């Protein structure tokens, strides 16, 4: 009898172990299936330093520095709510870091709840120390330039940021990959948009007014800027910013005016307060409503 009990116990243990192992393997495969590299190994150069993450608990933010291997992280909606629309989210961070949590995955999950296939773009950044308190010299000069614009009120042009060109290449590649996976992910390849925040907004607008190959079908821009002329066939744009933005106080107004000047669809939300980089952290200002308004805008444009 004791032998039978021991045999039964062993059999139960084996079954449980197998189930746990299968579950863990499934979770690992699921994690692998939600993160997609943009390029084959060795296809793009490396910064030569390891990627680093800095978690800011109070801000509930994860900063990612020294990105050499860009990826897309996928957030699928429930099948019964899927709308066929995809949005690629490009976080901010001055092309030095990526505000990957509040400026990326949190937004993606909320869009997925609305039936949107959301993807967070981890694009390449410039090399840095990985310390949020130490700004690379090249980036410091860019920040000084932005502050001078605000202090003097002179609306001089914004030069191209260090690392911006590589990031735009990653954005174009991301759109290509999403359209390639349209059938698998239940996406309409003609309803692939991009939502950019700060540096990510510069990335999105560069793609929207650039070559028509791998151009997003619509874009959302939060506290971004514009340098180049806007073509008449530019995609529809949702723009949001705060009037007390210390870096790009009036640039969103210029984007809106440039879009309207060529007859391209544009909507602007200029909030009294919110500063720069308000993303989804509650501030007690009307800027807290931007995502709801972006979703409403997509619904009115029959994207949802």
Highest mean pLDDT among 12-26, 138-152, 209-223: 209-223
Write out the H or E segment, with its range, that includes residue 164.
helix 164-180
| pLDDT score recorded for residue 33 | 77
Q: Using 50, 70 and 90 to split pLDDT, how confident is the model at 165?
A: very high
Separation in Å, CA 211 to CA 2, 118, 207, 234, 294: 76, 23, 7, 11, 25
Domain coverage including residue 3: 1-36
Is residue 41 over pLDDT 80? yes
| pLDDT score recorded for residue 256 | 98
Is residue 110 over pLDDT 60? yes
Q: Using 50, 70 and 90 to split pLDDT, how confident is the model at 129?
A: confident
- Same structural domain for residues 24 and 95? no
- Same structural domain for residues 55 and 201? yes
- Same structural domain for residues 29 and 51? no
Q: What's the domain count of the chain?
A: 2
From first CA to last CA, the distance across the chain in angstroms is: 64
Which residues fall within 8 angstroms of residue 186, CB to CB, at 6 or more apart? 79, 82, 84, 117
Please, what is the average pLDDT of the chain?
A: 86
- Same structural domain for residues 15 and 89? no
| pLDDT score recorded for residue 191 | 98
> How confident is the model over 248-252, as a mean pLDDT?
89
| pLDDT score recorded for residue 193 | 98
The CATH number of residue 107's host domain is 3.40.50.1820
| pLDDT score recorded for residue 152 | 59
Q: How far is CA 205 from the centre of its chain?
A: 13
- Same structural domain for residues 65 and 6? no
- Same structural domain for residues 49 and 119? yes
- Same structural domain for residues 25 and 51? no
| pLDDT score recorded for residue 247 | 86
- Same structural domain for residues 215 and 268? yes
- Same structural domain for residues 284 and 254? yes
pLDDT tens digits, 173-187: 999 999 999 999 999
- Same structural domain for residues 32 and 89? no
- Same structural domain for residues 169 and 24? no
- Whether this prediction's pTM lies above 0.75 is answered by yes
Radius of gyration of the chain (CA): 22
- Same structural domain for residues 159 and 247? yes
| pLDDT score recorded for residue 60 | 84
In whole angstroms, give the CA distance from residue 144 to residue 57.
28
Write out the H or E segment, with its range, that includes residue 220.
strand 218-222
Q: Using 50, 70 and 90 to split pLDDT, how confident is the model at 16?
A: very low
Question: Higher-confidence residue: 147 or 129?
Answer: 129
């Amino acid at each position: 009898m004791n032998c039978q009990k021991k045999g039964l116990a062993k059999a139960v243990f084996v079954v449980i172990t197998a189930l746990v192992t299968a579950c863990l393997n499934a979770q690992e495969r699921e994690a692998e299936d939600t993160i997609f590299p943009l390029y084959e190994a060795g296809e793009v150069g490396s910064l030569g330093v390891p990627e680093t993450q800095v978690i800011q608990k109070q801000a509930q933010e994860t900063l990612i520095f020294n990105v050499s291997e860009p990826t897309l992280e996928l957030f699928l909606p429930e099948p019964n709510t899927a709308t066929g629309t995809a949005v690629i989210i490009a976080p901010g961070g001055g092309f030095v870091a990526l505000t990957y949590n509040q400026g990326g995955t949190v937004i993606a999950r909320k869009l997925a709840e609305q039936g949107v296939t959301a993807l967070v773009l981890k694009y390449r950044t410039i090399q840095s120390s990985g310390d949020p308190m130490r700004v690379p010299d090249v980036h410091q000069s860019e920040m000084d330039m932005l502050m001078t614009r605000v202090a003097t009120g002179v609306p001089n042009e914004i030069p191209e940021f260090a690392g911006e060109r590589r990031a735009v290449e990653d954005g174009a590649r991301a759109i290509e990959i999403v359209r390639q996976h349209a059938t698998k992910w239940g996406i309409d390849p003609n309803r692939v948009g991009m939502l950019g925040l700060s540096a990510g907004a510069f990335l999105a607008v560069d793609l929207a007014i650039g070559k028509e190959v791998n151009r997003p079908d619509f874009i959302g821009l939060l506290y971004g800027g514009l340098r180049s002329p806007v073509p008449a066939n530019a995609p529809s744009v949702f723009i949001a910013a705060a009037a007390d933005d210390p870096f790009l106080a009036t640039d969103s107004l210029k984007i809106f005016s440039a879009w309207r000047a060529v007859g391209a669809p544009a909507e602007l939300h200029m909030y009294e307060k919110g500063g720069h980089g308000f993303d989804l952290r509650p501030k007690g200002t009307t800027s807290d409503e931007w995502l709801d308004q972006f979703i409403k805008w997509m619904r009115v444009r029959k994207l949802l």
